[in-house]
Amino acid sequence: MAKILIIDDSRVIIHVAQDFLNRNSHEVLSAQDGPQGLHLARSHHPDLILLDFIIPDLDGFEVTKKIRANQRLRKIPIIAVTSITDPEELERVKNCGVNALITKPIESEGFLKKIDRILYATNLG
């Protein structure tokens, strides 16, 4: 069981992801904006972060930058979960310090496989 933080401004996405993750015995925390997500990351030190890149106040790029700059948090794997479709922007997301990318809409099997693969790679699966 892993502690997973979802940072996404969509309640629907949070609910869907939470449902998938809870059914697989993961503990789930959620935030709907960048500052709240960073606060939860600092206070709960999750095993994995699922991060939307188009969120209020601090976007996914800034959240990733702040997590990677924090000595205590920098090794937490981040999976970008995004609806960005522009190839150049997607490339920018892939290269900003995330460990993997999932595109919306979320498809349960691929979503869970990618999460398990990242957790296994960090010895948490």
pLDDT for 124 equals: 55
**How far apart are the C-alpha atoms of 14 and 32, rounded to whole Å?**
9
How do the domains of the chain map onto residue ranges? 6-121
pTM of the model: 0.94
Q: Provide long-range contacts, Cβ within 8 A and 24+ apart, for 18-27.
A: 20/106, 20/108, 20/111, 20/112, 21/115, 24/112, 25/1, 26/1, 26/2, 27/1, 27/2, 27/3
Q: Supply the pLDDT for residue 91.
A: 94
pLDDT tens digits along 18-71:
999 999 899 999 999 999 999 999 999 999 999 999 999 999 999 999 999 999
> How confident is the model over 73-113, as pLDDT tens digits?
999 999 999 999 999 999 999 999 999 999 888 888 888 89
Instruction: Say how far residue 9 (Cα) sits from the centre of its chain.
Output: 12
CATH code of the domain occupying 6-121:
3.40.50.2300
